[in-house]
Homo-oligomer: A and B are copies of this chain.
Amino acid sequence: MQRYFLQDMLDKQCIVFEDEHYHHIVRVMRMKVGDRVYVVLPDESTVVVELSEITESCVRTKWIEDVLISSEMPIQVTVALGIPKGDKLDWVVQKTTELGAFAIQPFESDWSVVKWDFKKKEKKKERLQKIAREAAEQSHRSHVPIVHDVLSFQKLLHTFSQYTHVLVAYEESAKTQEKQQFRQIISTLNPKDKVLIIFGSEGGLSDSEIKQLVDKQAILCGLGPRIMRAETAPMYVLAACSYELELR
């Protein structure tokens, strides 16, 4: 069943689709009166509605039921990623949304090959947010991950107080046979914990960055014996969180 996110809070008994949603329902999906869709309200509650009337400019609906089962991860995982090359950030936003990320926080790191074009930042952010929304619709989520503005590494450090746990995916930790840190932390998380997990870009994190992270009490974690690309490691972490917290 198709799923639509509403920007404005409407009475769930009489939700009306216009503009973009109207176009999608009537022109793209060619739905008819009697068809049902999920609607996610701005408070992230989800309802099922049935199309009751289709006019030239809007679709009226009637409320059928509230959806009480949540598809959201019990913890909030924010993925902080050194800006990767090419369109990889698009891809990371899509995949981490499917896998349950709460937010995505790109940052500029010493070894990012790419420098962020701040002139185009509004346009880029808009596109990334659209990718997140579409992936959230597809994966039946009620929360659309927030794609934050790109931060400098120093500013990233200043966000740590917003989180209950700050972890760093660090290859060198895996090499030194440290393999239990990540699991020990993930397996003891509580619902509503806010976890920030930091990943380097393709070039990894510099020694200076690692030192500053450790000074700020971030915990270095190995993610197993294989070396993953920058864009793959966040998926490993989110899948592991889901396995640990949602499948038990």
Contacts and interface: CB of A to CB of B under 8 A. Distances in A.
User: Could you say how many copies of this chain the assembly holds?
Assistant: 2
A99 B248 CA distance: 22
Given A69-B225, A229-B138, A232-B95, A180 B239 contact: no
A17 interface: no
A69 B248 CA distance: 31
A100 B243 contact: no
By size class, the interface of chain A is 35 or more
A68 interface: no
A25 B81 CA distance: 31
B247 A139 contact: no
Nearest to A228: B98
A66 interface: no
A209 to B, nearest CB: 22
Nearest to A221: B247
Contacts of A225: 69-72, 140, 246
A236 to B, nearest CB: 4
A197 to B, nearest CB: 13
Nearest to A225: B71
Given A236-B242, A239-B235, A240-B239, A226 B99 contact: yes
Contacts of A70: 225
Contacts of A138: 227, 229
Interface string A209-248: 0000000000000111111110010011101101110111
11 contacts: A70-B225, A98-B229, A100-B226, A138-B227, A139-B226, A139-B229, A179-B247, A180-B247, A236-B239, A243-B243, A243-B244
Interface of A: 69-72, 95, 98-100, 138-141, 177, 179-180, 182-183, 222-229, 232, 235-237, 239-240, 242-244, 246-248
Given A99-B236, A236-B242, 4 more contacts: A139-B228, A140-B226, A183-B248, A239-B240
